[in-house]
Structure 1
């Protein structure tokens, strides 16, 4: 292709085409998304998300953006911790705003029930429907690799955070040893699409998800992108040997 491109799995596509392609993937997987996460990770994704919510440490009265929040896994954890903090020290309810580009994912999440602290919205990570400096924290889990322009999404996260606001991004990353990389590649490309076919009747969507992980920047490259977006004190915490990584920063 000539001109700018965006990644869609191992393909390079027109940036204007990527949102529709990604939306199609998540339209197809929304109904089985949580089940597939459990099957693909053996339930380990729940431990990663618990760790992210604990690191976020929500407090009463805070506004927290859960971008690409999908079915609400992170938001429910954050709401529970904020409620516990309120019980200990008092104060107003926290507000957790889930913003996801895919209406089917939002619908699947709402069908599971909600929490009083949670608000749901369909929106774009690159153009968040929120005012400047309106949130104390921003979290995105397993979503940023699906946006068309990662740098633009990072700048949007910086825009909506108040001074001192916390940025947290949980994403699949690069295993830290060669042996683990080989094992993870074999599992990803041979097993995950097969699970997708058998459980969800959809091999192609899970093939895309595996490929999108391989095209995503590694830990150090992504940390540099976060710094370039204006965040300070950028830090990396690897989970499960780097299969996933939590990147954090501060809006100062």
Structure 2
């Protein structure tokens, strides 16, 4: 009787995942995340500026520079949303960019921005689940995910899929919020995350709960070393990371050799 009870307990734990600080059924999380981004999509870019005090633009420029765009290289931009990474790739001379997102609302904003910028020929937009990428093995040169991995239910599946679609010699890069490594700044950072951001979200986007979730999702995301190990377990090699702004964000890089 006890063995059966323990087995049931383990199964229940396996079916649970984080949604911010809450634990929810794994099957429920995708629709809950979708609701968040349906809500925030129209104000996503202005809220990014407010949330990061504009610093996210600097982080993304560093990230795009790391990609080393060239005309003969193709980019798969996962959770690309409103298109910042894809547009930066193209602006710096990269080849075809596949701008993808699982959320139609976010992708719609990205499509509008692409048209406004005149990006038509070298960009393709698709609704794609990063856990099940609809591309052949060894088909792209770069795979990126920027501020999207923490919203995925099975992060290890995303990393494995990224490696699968990379050509040998291809590179995966992830830009994500990470663990602050300057202890004296943590009280200020916590106050900004959990008090200021939901209030700003309520004022600008008329939605405090989504921004409460986004703040919580940052804290539950794996730290720098843990994500590095996850990437290595997915088969990526020469995995490194660099901290940005004292670890508020980090860029992780891995190669398919």
Question: TM-score normalized by structure 1?
Answer: 0.94
Does residue 24 of the first structure (1) align with residue 35 of the second (2)? yes
Cα root mean square deviation, aligned: 1.0
Find 1:51's aligned residue among 62, 68, 80: 62
Select 1:249's aligned residue among 239, 254, 257. 254
**Mapping 1:36-47, distance limit 5 Å:** 36-47=47-58
> Secondary structure in 1 aligned to 2:88?
helix
Tell me, yes or no, if the aligned pair for 1:196 and 1:202 is still in contact at 8 Å.
yes
Shift of 1:61: 2.1
Instruction: Give 1:113 shift.
Output: 2.9
Instruction: Show the counterpart of 1:147.
Output: 152
State whether residues 68 and 125 of structure 1, in contact with CA within 8 Å, keep that contact through their aligned partners in structure 2.
Answer: yes
Question: Which structure's CA Rg is the greater one?
Answer: 2
Q: What secondary structure, in the 3-state scheme, does the structure 2 residue paired with 1:223 have?
A: helix
In the alignment, which residue of structure 1 is the partner of 2:163?
A: 158
- 1:100-125 Cα shifts (integer Å, max 9, x gaps): 00000000111223413211100100
Once residues 182 and 160 of structure 1 are traced to their aligned partners in structure 2, the CA distance between those partners, rounded to angstroms, is 41
Over residues 172-210 of structure 1, what are the superposed CA-to-partner deviations in whole Å (9 max), with x where a residue is unaligned? 001111112222111100111110001100000000000
Deviation at residue 143 of structure 1 after TM alignment: 0.2
Paired position in structure 1 for 2:109: 108
Q: Given that residues 145 and 174 in structure 2 are in contact (C-alpha distance below 8 angstroms), is that contact kept between their aligned partners in structure 1?
A: yes
Matched-pair contact (CA < 8 Å) for 1:174–1:181: no
Residues 244 and 250, structure 2, Cα contact 8 Å, conserved in 1: yes
CA displacement at 1:222 relative to structure 2? 0.7
CA distance in structure 2 between the partners assigned to 1:11 and 1:155 by the alignment = 26
Instruction: Judge conservation of contact 2:74–2:97 (CA < 8 Å) in 1.
Output: yes
Question: Could you say what secondary structure the match of 1:211 adopts?
Answer: helix
Q: Who is 1:235 aligned against?
A: 240
Name whichever of 54-63 and 148-157 sits farther off.
54-63
Distance 2:147 2:62 in 1: 14
Structure 1: where are the runs of 5+ without partners? 84-93
Which stretch has the larger CA shift, 108-117 or 118-127? 108-117
CA distance in 1, matches of 2:221, 2:114: 32
TM-score scaled by length of structure 2: 0.92
